[in-house]
Amino acid sequence: QVQVVESGGGLVQAGGSLRLSCTASGLSFDGLAMGWFRQAPGKERERVSCISWSGRRFYADSVKGRFTISRDNAKNTLYLQMNSLKPEDTAMYYCAAKASRGSTCGAGDLGFNYWGQGTQVTVSS
């Protein structure tokens, strides 16, 4: 059984930084496209960033230049370094993985089969 777990969320002041981590049991991240998504209260879930199996990175316009996605396949861990945080970054952040080896990011959350329970990020002004 696959279990995806996020960690690293918390409360931070505007301008601060956080690093989210995502690990999984029962699933090797190697060769999979991985993504970070977020959902704020009353808003739709949006994709924040994605990294393909080959390491190609994609970012939402709202986080470009502030967030960095990375992966360590040896540790089976996905990261999201978040700098210069803004109150509008406040949301539940989710890690997700596609099921197909050699997968690319594609659009939105299409093809992301495995999801974590989320970690809350709150940015105070």
Please list the rounded mean pLDDT of every run of 10 residues in the chain (125 residues): 96 98 94 96 97 96 98 96 98 95 89 96 97
Characterize 73-82 residue by residue with b for buried, 16 or more Cβ atoms within 10 angstroms of its Cβ, and e for exposed: eeeebbbbeb
Distance between CA 75 and CA 62 in Å, rounded? 29
Residues of the chain with pLDDT > 70, as a percent, come to 100
Per-residue pLDDT tens digits for 23-59: 999 999 999 999 999 999 999 999 999 999 999 999 9
